[in-house]
């Protein structure tokens, strides 16, 4: 057994801490709290409501701490502030339930309650306590709480926060404060207000950038699932520029599962899709292993090309090895399922054109005589066999065992001699060419 190396340093320490049972239970509870009231909403709305829930719990914790501090400091003097903080605590804990009304009810509750409470705190303590700084949080947090789709509401919340901040500053100077607090208390409150303001703004901006980066990563991954990496990079760099290339030497493969349509009628939709998906996923894995570019699937047909978008000298050999493994894959599936599955494969080589077509549901496609010839060789081939054109035969004859088929009539080509690919030289048909690759 090979032991996997354990991560060391700070990363290893953090990984071990987060895998600790206590940390896992805590994470599960936080996740449960964050998801309260969010069931039934679309994923992007649910994510925003979960952030709002966490924000509300933070308000609940901080207001509870403030209330305890004020009770210990001088309850009689700070009684109004204690009650305001307790009201905010109740409000914050109510936010998850507000999501049952609609997706903005919780956010509106937080905004209205906080705006009123901040003005009341400033009136009691004066602007020297810095409580009014927290209106500035709306400049970033409103976008997270309500989303860009409600830009008018967000703009209103941000503008109102700025107006209230200025009113609090000019209307409640220290001498107008209803409670004459010690300067040490005011300094402590100002420090806490400044820290919470900067922290929440930073968290909101970080969250926004994280969403953008995640969306970019998901888009990039999707694009690279559709297009070759180099083509995807070109498309991102110059989105409006057509992508079309000529390739002098490539090999093209068409494969079709023979009898699949008849088999599909007896299996039913769900089993058919599952079976076909398993086979195609295995073909995709082989394509990645051999450095072959999958072009598309059409029903139960599979098309792949070797030698593009980056040219390689052994394109025919790569595709031949992949084709042999495709036969082995279908044979294995047939043995496991008992289904009468077989595959026909056609291969041809030569110059082609390749490019991106379409603007909606666009695709990377290939055109040229080898494409047509490979498709016709597949159709004229035999189940369980790989049908080759003369060009492929020239490239593979020294490395692979070939079986002549004689001359056959090919539409658009006429009479042409073709061959079946049997296997690698020195191996019988049951040998695994992938093991040599």
Task: Read off the pLDDT of residues 286-340 as tens digits, 9 standing for 90 and up.
Answer: 999 999 988 888 878 899 999 988 889 999 999 999 999 999 999 998 888 888 8
d(Cα 387, Cα 374) in Å, to the nearest integer?
Answer: 8
| pLDDT confidence tier of residue 16, bands split at 50, 70 and 90 | low
Q: Is pLDDT of 18 > 70? A: no
Domain boundaries, the chain: 10-222, 240-435
Q: Is pLDDT of 227 > 80? A: no
Of 31, 35, 91, 96, the residue nearest 63 (C-alpha): 91
Q: What pLDDT score was predicted for residue 431?
A: 46
Task: Read off the pLDDT of residues 144-179 as tens digits, 9 standing for 90 and up.
Answer: 888 888 899 999 999 999 999 999 999 999 999 999
CATH no. for 240-435: 3.30.70.1230
């Amino acid at each position: 057994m090979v032991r996997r190396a354990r991560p060391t340093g700070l990363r290893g320490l953090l990984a071990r801490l987060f895998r600790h049972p206590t940390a896992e239970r805590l994470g599960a509870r936080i996740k449960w709290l964050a998801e309260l009231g969010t069931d039934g909403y679309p994923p992007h709305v649910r994510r925003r409501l979960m952030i709002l829930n966490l924000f509300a719990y933070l308000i609940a914790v901080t207001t509870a701490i403030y209330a305890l501090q004020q009770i210990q400091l001088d309850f009689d003097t700070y009684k109004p502030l204690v009650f305001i903080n307790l009201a905010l605590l109740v409000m914050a804990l109510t936010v998850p339930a507000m999501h049952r009304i609609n997706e903005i009810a919780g956010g509106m509750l937080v905004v209205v309650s906080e705006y009123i409470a901040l003005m009341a705190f400033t009136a009691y303590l004066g602007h020297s306590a810095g409580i009014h700084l927290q209106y500035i949080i709306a400049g970033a947090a409103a976008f997270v709480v309500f989303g860009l789709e409600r830009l008018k509401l967000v703009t209103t919340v941000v503008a109102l926060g700025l107006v209230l901040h200025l009113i609090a500053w000019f209307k409640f100077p220290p001498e107008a404060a209803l409670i004459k607090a010690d300067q040490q208390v005011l300094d402590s409150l100002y420090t806490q207000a400044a820290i919470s303001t900067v922290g929440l703004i930073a968290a909101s901006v970080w969250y926004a950038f994280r969403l953008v980066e995640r969306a970019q990563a998901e888009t990039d991954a999707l694009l690279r699932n559709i297009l070759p990496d180099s083509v995807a990079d070109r498309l991102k760099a110059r989105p409006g520029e057509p992508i079309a290339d000529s390739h002098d030497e490539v090999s093209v493969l068409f494969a079709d599962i023979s009898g699949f349509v008849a088999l599909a009628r007896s299996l039913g939709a769900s089993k058919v899709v599952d079976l076909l998906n398993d086979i195609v996923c295995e073909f995709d894995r082989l394509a990645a292993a051999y450095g072959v570019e999958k072009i598309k699937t059409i029903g139960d047909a599979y098309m792949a090309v070797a030698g593009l978008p980056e040219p390689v000298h052994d394109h025919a050999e790569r595709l031949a090895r992949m084709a042999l493994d495709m036969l082995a894959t279908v044979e294995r599936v047939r043995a496991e399922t008992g289904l009468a599955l077989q595959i026909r494969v056609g291969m041809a080589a030569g110059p082609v054109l390749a490019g991106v077509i379409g603007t909606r549901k666009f695709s990377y496609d290939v055109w040229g005589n080898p494409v047509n010839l490979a498709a016709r060789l597949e159709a004229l081939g035999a189940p369980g066999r790989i049908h080759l054109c003369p060009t492929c035969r020239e490239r593979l004859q020294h490395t692979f065992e070939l079986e002549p088929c004689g001359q056959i009539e090919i539409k658009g080509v006429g009479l042409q001699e073709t061959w079946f690919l049997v296997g690698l030289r020195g191996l019988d048909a049951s040998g695994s060419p992938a093991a040599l690759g």
